[in-house]
Chains A and B, each alone.
Chain A
Amino acid sequence: MPAIKLPHILLLPLPPPATDLKIITLLHPRTLVPTRYLIHPAQGLHEITKLTAPSPTPRSWLLTPPPEPCRPPKWLGNGQILQDGSIYICTPMDPIFVLLPRLFPADEADAIDRFLPVGDLFEELTKEGEGDWELVAKSQVAEKRLAAVCESVDVGDGKAYKPSREKLMRVLDEKCVRMAKGGLPASMEEGFIRKPLIRPIAEIMAEEAEKKEGAGRVKELEVRSVKKKENRDGEGAGWGAAGAPSEAVPTPPDLQATRPWLSEASQEVTGLLRIRVASEFISNNYLSVSIAEALSDSLQKSHDFTPLDDYLAELAKIRQEATAMRLDDYPLKRSLEDEEEIVDRKRKKGEGAAEKKQKKSVSRATKELQKADKTGMPRLTTFFQKKNAEIL
């Protein structure tokens, strides 16, 4: 393989003071795997996400020089084609996430339980070494975010901080609510909110309707799914980070208009489910297991999920009934009994074949004999006794 490094297409935050951008390696807050992040001198930490076209639709890049004014573009000769059609996107990320595993370790014994000035706190956090923590620590944003999850006391000219779980939970809670407010990104809305909340009858109707709409729609969905992906990845980091230019831009749930059945679930239930999905999303992507558990508990306390749980339980019941009903109507799927029947039939077939073979090997005279009228003829065993000992 040639050692030439192919360029990557990277979408950078604006404006690009190119020289000041740095790519650093930090431990991923969820997996603790070394992961690359982008540091912007003003906007702080950025997450890098790779977007790849779905495998059935291969894509590649065609790079051309910027078109010069007044001249027809020269396409040939100056361009470059990259086989890899993926694009890397940098999205702002709350730096607090990368600090969390150290601020709030799973083992309580390792937790920092005294007030420390910012500098010392960062030192404490980064002393175990791996990763380029200094750059994170230096940024203004980091200190603000740190303050958000710590109790603070004034010490002389500065402040001292101590990590506080309560504050962290409040922050994360806020993040979930903000993400849920106004609807999740379209693909998440579709998969995690709309589908689980549809009533089965409506589902059947919808399926039929969708069938009618046909293939054109499928295409549309594909296009949308690509967009959604981008949206979501942007979204993942979009909320929260103070000073981040993009506040969470929720995709307006325009689907609701065309899909009336969603309105069956009350706004309250939908909202609760959104919060729950948002918390799951954040937990799965940015939080360590112990913090995720704590978040889930804290959310249970701060929000009353009972209406949602009741509604979901009811749906599950209806769905089960509907499935049973449909099975009765159209026994398309093989039940266990059917399978047994099939096995039976196969066995019978096998037996039949064996019987046929035997029949074939039986001579005509034998068949004639078997047809003989044997009424009134007792078996020979009534005349002759069975011998116990062999003749041999």
Chain B
Amino acid sequence: MGQINVHSHSLSGLFSAANSRLKPGMLLLEARLEQAGVLKKVVDAIKDLVQDCNFDCNDSGIALQAMDNSHVALVSMLLKSEGFSPYRLDRNVALGVNLTSLTKVLRCAQNEDILTLKAEDTPDNLSLVFENAENDRISEYEIKLMDIDQEHLGIPETEYAAAISMPSAEFQRICRDLIQLSESVSIEASKEGVKFSCSGDIGSGSVTLRQHNNVDKPELSTKIELTEPVALTFSLKYLVNFCKASALSSVVTLSLSNEVPLLVEYAMGSGFVRFYLAPKIGEEE
């Protein structure tokens, strides 16, 4: 293990040296991610929700916020600067990227590759370098950037009535099961547990998770923090889509309050992916 590390360091050292020799001071952004898999999973999780979006690079890291085409769902992503080593940025910049293109390039990276994002001053391209320590392989790709006019929404800090944390795989499974019966699911949070229920043309179904604590494997616990009982209905198609982020984290947190969007959060060690989804308000009558 240690050997590999040393190896990879020497590789990257060689690489940055070469770069600085070629283009001294030209580099606007250089962010090195130990595991390309992180970015791969992040992009995979959101690429079906949004097609083109800006990666906003600033001192705190690389952030992304975008709504889906119908403007009922929003994804907010942050890869904190601490997650990169190194993270060098001359000035704040928004890199407009087509996520489909980015996915294509990221497919060329293995999860264990070291990934370096680089952009020149006034960038036309975002360059991605994948270093495979094991094979001493360096792959370099560039994708064209685009100008995207994007508005950001200010998301206020909200005290949610209910915050449910549960295994992400469990949430994914529930959503996939229920979508077979109906397009929408009602989520009811109470002290006893959380109940996902739906009813459609062929019948109805429900899954209830009780609060429980798994000492051995805390990631399999279900925790409910409740200030008042909540019941809201959501589109299952969107929820299933959010579940693509399950690979990012074994735990997902659902935060609900009446009359506000649902927050589905996948936390990573050095960042997060958050989805917001508007509840179905008119339908309950």
Contacts and interface: CB of A to CB of B under 8 A. Distances in A.
Interface of A: 361-363, 365-366, 368-387, 390-392
Contacts of B238: 369, 372
A373 to B, nearest CB: 5
Contacts of A369: 48-49, 68-70, 237-238, 241
Given A377-B279, A392-B94, A387 B152 contact: yes
B72 A380 contact: yes
B167 interface: no
B281 A377 contact: yes
B120 interface: no
For the complex of A and B, the 7 pairs showing the least CB-CB separation, nearest first, are A376-B282, A372-B237, A365-B48, A384-B153, A392-B92, A376-B280, A376-B283
Contacts of A381: 71, 153
A374 B72 CA distance: 8
For B94, B155, B183, B278, which residue has the most chain A Cβ atoms within 10 angstroms?
B278
Given A363-B47, A374-B70, A384 B183 contact: no
B74 interface: yes
A375 B282 contact: yes
Contacts of B2: none
B24 interface: no
B156 interface: yes
Q: Is the interface of A mostly helix, strand, loop or mixed?
A: loop
Contacts of A384: 74, 153-156, 261, 276
B258 interface: no
B278 A380 contact: yes
18 contacts: A362-B51, A366-B49, A366-B51, A369-B48, A369-B70, A372-B183, A376-B280, A376-B283, A377-B279, A379-B72, A380-B276, A380-B278, A383-B278, A385-B153, A386-B151, A386-B152, A386-B154, A387-B151
A379 B74 CA distance: 10
Interface residues of B, number: 43
A361 B102 CA distance: 12
Most chain B CB atoms below 10 A, which of A365, A383, A385, A390: A383
A361 to B, nearest CB: 5
Interface of B: 47-49, 51, 56, 58, 63, 65, 67-74, 92-94, 100, 151-156, 183-184, 233, 235, 237-238, 241, 244, 260-261, 276, 278-283
A370 to B, nearest CB: 6
Given A372-B238, A374-B70, A392-B94, A380 B282 contact: no
Nearest to B235: A372
A363 B103 CA distance: 11
Contacts of A382: 278
Contacts of B67: 380
Given A375-B283, A376-B280, A380-B72, A387 B154 contact: yes
A24 B267 CA distance: 108
A365 B241 contact: yes
B55 to A, nearest CB: 11
A350 B100 CA distance: 22
A365 B49 CA distance: 8
A380 B238 CA distance: 14
Contacts of B152: 386-387, 390-391
A376 B56 CA distance: 32
Instruction: Count chain B CB atoms within 10 A of each CB in A377, A390, A392 and give the residue with the most.
Output: A377
B100 A361 contact: yes
Contact of A373 (B48, B235, B276): B235
B65 A377 contact: no
A370 B278 CA distance: 15
A375 B153 contact: no
A361 B63 CA distance: 24
B261 to A, nearest CB: 5
A378 B281 CA distance: 8
B280 to A, nearest CB: 4
Contacts of A373: 183-184, 235, 237
A363 B100 contact: yes
Nearest to A384: B153
